[in-house]
Amino acid sequence: MLKTRHMILSGLFAAITALLAQISIPLPFSPVPITGQTLAVFLTGAVLGGRWGALSMLLYIFLGAIGLPVFHNAQGGLHIVLGPTGGYLWGFVLGSYLMGKITEKWSSYLAIVLGMFLCMAAYLLLGTIQLSFIAGLDLRQGLLLGAVPFLPLDIVKIFAAGALSFSIRQRLINAGLIK
């Protein structure tokens, strides 16, 4: 029964990620927009844990890859996953997994926030690598276009998501919906 609940929650968090992806602010100097996706990724890993958080992000990528309009600006298609911003999507899977593993082991607010910083590092690293490769940039240029501009807002999102996810996780545990 718990497995079914986790599957439902994974689908729910994939849907939340798709909804928050529609909050998209283009940056004139970068092919990477500011989106609400990262807030959802932080929540997903912290609430669902490593395996189910990563599965949720894989589901999100799969839905977008087959053409559903779940990515920023209601886009979908394999070209997004394989394009300049696709590395961030793969980073969401890795980041959600890593931070989820941390929250499975330690459930304090500090551990959750530190896990979110690790999650951010994962998606920025994979995103920057794919952006640099696809766009023909060196790694320094990739960092300047695809990582540095996002750090201040992502750090704010981390502290907001940390408080929110700590509360959500405790309520789901108390309700017997997750362990």
Given a cut of 60, whether residue 55 has pLDDT beyond it is: yes
Closest CA to 161 of 96, 93, 106, 70: 96
pLDDT tens string 130-151:
999 999 999 999 999 999 999 9
Structure tokens at 63: 């839905």
Taking the C-alpha atoms of residue 61 and residue 67, their distance in angstroms, rounded to an integer, is 10
Q: Identify the pLDDT of residue 4.
A: 87
pLDDT tens string 96-106:
999 999 988 98
* Residue range of the domain that includes 105: 2-174
Q: Identify the pLDDT of residue 31.
A: 85
H helical segments located in 37-150? 37-48, 50-65, 78-82, 86-105, 109-135, 139-146
Q: By mean pLDDT, which of 20-29, 42-51, 146-155, 162-171 is the weakest?
A: 162-171
Q: Which amino acid is at 49?
A: G
Give the CATH number for residue 125. 1.10.1760.20
Q: Identify the pLDDT of residue 5.
A: 87
- CA 148 vs CA 45, 58, 79, 120, 160: distances in Å: 23, 25, 24, 12, 20
Q: Identify the pLDDT of residue 175.
A: 86
Average pLDDT, the chain: 93
Is residue 179 situated within a structural domain?
no
Is residue 31 situated within a structural domain?
yes
Is residue 79 situated within a structural domain?
yes
Given a cut of 80, whether residue 53 has pLDDT beyond it is: yes
> Cβ distance 59 to 16 under 8 Å?
no
Is residue 165 situated within a structural domain?
yes
Average pLDDT over residues 85-99: 97
Is residue 163 situated within a structural domain?
yes
